Structure 1
Amino acid sequence: MKHQVVTPVSRRNQPEPYTRVAVLGAGSWGTAVAATFAKAGAQTRLWGRDPAVVAAINETGQSPQHLPDVALPRGLRATDDMAAALDGAQAVAVVVPSRAVRAVIAQAAAHLTPDIPIALCAKGIEAETGLLMTQIAEEELTGNPVGCISGPTFAAETALGHPTAATVAFPFTHRDRLDPDESPALRMAVSLSTESFRTYVSDDLVGVEVGGAVKNVIAIACGMLTGAGFAENTRAALITRGVDEMKVLAEALGGRRETVTGLSGMGDLTLTCSSATSRNMSLGLQLGGGTPRAACFDGRPVVVEGEMNARSVTDLARRVGVSMPICEAVRAILHHDADLGATFAALWASPIEAEPRALELSFDHPASDTAIQQLAERFA
């Protein structure tokens, strides 16, 4: 009697979206995230500190200060009352600058039950502790599933419905693997999915978050060299070697190198290093063109995440024993008054290494003296 071979039936996952969502942070990206949830069908509450921004969203259906050209979905409502924003929420996205994450999470904690998943949309590393954004949330919360949302996503383009993709990352528990449809990652992913916003799912929080933090620093470097008059070859080299710096840090912290080649790493890096719409790239362009830091952005106090991350990323890299020369160069220029031209000339003239790190090769650059002299002159 022949044994019949049974072919497993492939099952397509069909998770249920969250129907009530809170978004904390009414800046440009927070408003775009809230608009995406609302477009996808969720009853969405957007919390912001500024009563004028909240009033404008509710009264006009627009955010004149942050997204002036975007008509927001009718179902989106804003509030400056944290308790009201979180009342009845099944899931929460935190979309504030990285330096405000701890305070906002601590404020929200009093209104959350342990079953509500929290997705961090801030990108960075806490300067005082070296913690990633999700690790900060885990310290401040009790038992909530904590993940992140990251990718190449300019706020205005997302809100205007340009085709956009991002990664939703949460740890997968044993129960999540047995029943993925009930996992926070899948449910958050479908809750954000619209005709123009496409999501992918990951379980590698470290890899996703490292990409988001490091790309801001590399973008400043790209801006500096572009502002100094260099072109596509230079930027391509910085982007590629920047990805390598992401990989070594992610791996050292327990993440996966392959994650860095995805949307939250290579994708976000490419976007941020290619457009002055990015504050990080814009800061670099101005500095590379000779504008003093205090005069950048016409003297306005603009928050540039990569400026703070240049210090926190390299502090963490030093602590875990990995080399990140581009990030170190940006740190030296921004925080230690190093000369921009001399710093990048020295970077280009540094010892030659193997691109596959496994070869473990290093030898002197034969034209290092000439490179340092001529490149420094080009910057001058």
Structure 2
Amino acid sequence: MTNITVFGTGSFGSALANVLAENGHHVLMWGKNQATIDEINSNHTNISYLKEAQLNSSIKATTDLDQAIKHSDTFIIALPTKAIRDVMGRVNTKLNSKKSFIHVTKGIENESFKRVSEMIEDTIAPEFNGGIGILSGPSHAEEVVIKQPTTVAAASNNSELRQLIQDLFMTDYLRVYTNDDLVGVELGGALKNIIAIASGVVSGMGYGDNAKAALITRGLAEITRLGVKLGADPLTFQGLGGIGDLIVTCTSTHSRNFSLGYKLGKGEQLDDILKDMNMVAEGVYTTQSVYHLAKHQGVEMPITEALYRVLFEKQPVEKELKILMGRNKKAE
């Protein structure tokens, strides 16, 4: 079996570490919070992120970056977008052999507008970069960790790495399809969080299924427009990394982005909501990135623009909804 290091001790990193351990791999998790590391090692739980889920007892955890790097040649990156450059930069200074990088992070970097794979590529020296891929799709950690049926996509420009990801994670409850469109799968995973916040806003305002279905459908249209402009295959957005991930994130209370939007729709302030969250809602930062990226690329994204004004210009949600519904007539 394979030695694997998981960087990040949040909900999804923990759930995937559990999948890998259940598949017989030797898993070491790395994180900064000593209390979380001690809990994983002693109790085989991570209550802050996965409540009472029991993790495989073979999983080990450490705060020692040297140990994490030496443990394996395969790295699973389950970190927030804003932590990628810092942690991978520190990793890069300690590398002496090629490593494979498989990330599960769903975001776009502010200012540079880069996808996570591009951030990793920027940070890791070419001689140590053995390939970059992503595992993405409709996959709430809370369901994966208790072995509920889940299906995801493994994407990379490297065919051998796509196969490795599929082989590592495939189980009788986690089905993995390969996909060669890294750009599309990354963008689908990141941009759906914007629409999920908007979906939560609509639900929080008390609107029903009609409004939510319209939002998801038109949200997919603008995700696809930007994706194609950036080089993605439009068919990718009809798959697990696109519509699949969009549906699950826009309709579930497991989604931290949906939950954040729901509270906004109820009238709570963004700063107060963020203070009460113990996990990162990537959609807030992605909205900021994608709003400016779409302007730069000349791509129309009305839902993203409306949400940006709510989040960053403090515009009332009712006003933005009226603007969306009152846009000029057009063909679908």
Once the two structures are superposed, residues 34-81 of structure 1 have per-residue CA deviations (whole angstroms, 9 ceiling, x without a partner) of: 111111121111101111111111111111222232111122111111
Match of 2:73 in 1: 90
Q: Which has the higher helix share?
A: 2
Q: Tell me the TM-score normalized by structure 2.
A: 0.95
CA distance in 1, matches of 2:277, 2:185: 31
Out of 135, 160, 174, the residue aligned to residue 197 of structure 1 is 174
1:294 CA drift (Å) = 3.3
Please tell me whether the aligned partners of residues 114 and 142 of structure 1 are also in contact (alpha carbons under 8 angstroms): no
CA distance in 2, matches of 1:32, 1:114: 27
Once the two structures are superposed, residues 63-118 of structure 1 have per-residue CA deviations (whole angstroms, 9 ceiling, x without a partner) of: 12222321111221111111111214121110011111111111122333553210
SS of 1:273's equivalent? helix
CA distance in 2, matches of 1:68, 1:230: 30
Q: Tell me the TM-score normalized by structure 1.
A: 0.84
Match of 2:87 in 1: 104
Match of 1:37 in 2: 20
CA distance in 2, matches of 1:156, 1:43: 22
* More divergent stretch after superposition (248-257 vs 109-118): 109-118
CA distance in 2, matches of 1:302, 1:186: 31
When the two structures are aligned, how many residues end up with a matched partner? 329
Match of 1:329 in 2: 306
Out of 138, 144, 151, the residue aligned to residue 137 of structure 2 is 151
CA distance in 2, matches of 1:22, 1:299: 30
Please tell me whether the aligned partners of residues 87 and 111 of structure 1 are also in contact (alpha carbons under 8 angstroms): no
Compared CA separation, residues 28 and 339, structure 1 to 2 (3 A):
same
Once the two structures are superposed, residues 327-368 of structure 1 have per-residue CA deviations (whole angstroms, 9 ceiling, x without a partner) of: 11100100011121111111111012222xxxxxxxxxxxxx
Determine which structure has more spread, i.e. the larger CA radius of gyration.
Answer: 1
Kindly, what percent of the aligned residue pairs are identical?
A: 34
Corresponding letter in the other structure for 1:133: V
Compared CA separation, residues 294 and 115, structure 1 to 2 (3 A):
closer
Out of 286, 299, 317, the residue aligned to residue 294 of structure 2 is 317
Match of 2:155 in 1: 169
Please tell me whether the aligned partners of residues 135 and 165 of structure 2 are also in contact (alpha carbons under 8 angstroms): no
Match of 1:160 in 2: 146
Match of 2:112 in 1: 129
Please tell me whether the aligned partners of residues 28 and 60 of structure 2 are also in contact (alpha carbons under 8 angstroms): yes
CA distance in 2, matches of 1:114, 1:314: 38
Please tell me whether the aligned partners of residues 213 and 313 of structure 1 are also in contact (alpha carbons under 8 angstroms): no
Corresponding letter in the other structure for 1:54: I
CA distance in 1, matches of 2:157, 2:294: 23
Corresponding letter in the other structure for 1:161: K
Match of 2:326 in 1: 349
CA distance in 2, matches of 1:221, 1:323: 17
1:194 CA drift (Å) = 1.5
SS of 1:117's equivalent? strand
* More divergent stretch after superposition (127-136 vs 69-78): 69-78
Match of 1:272 in 2: 249
Q: Give runs of aligned pairs for residues 1-380 of structure 1, distance below 5 A.
A: 19-113=2-96, 115-143=98-126, 144=129, 145-172=131-158, 176=159, 183-296=160-273, 299-300=276-277, 303-355=280-332
CA distance in 1, matches of 2:193, 2:94: 32
Corresponding letter in the other structure for 1:120: H
Gaps of 5+ in 2: none
* More divergent stretch after superposition (315-324 vs 228-237): 315-324
CA distance in 1, matches of 2:15, 2:30: 13
CA distance in 2, matches of 1:111, 1:54: 22
CA distance in 1, matches of 2:155, 2:306: 30
Corresponding letter in the other structure for 2:137: G
RMSD of aligned C-alpha atoms?
Answer: 1.5
1:296 CA drift (Å) = 2.6
CA distance in 1, matches of 2:82, 2:184: 20
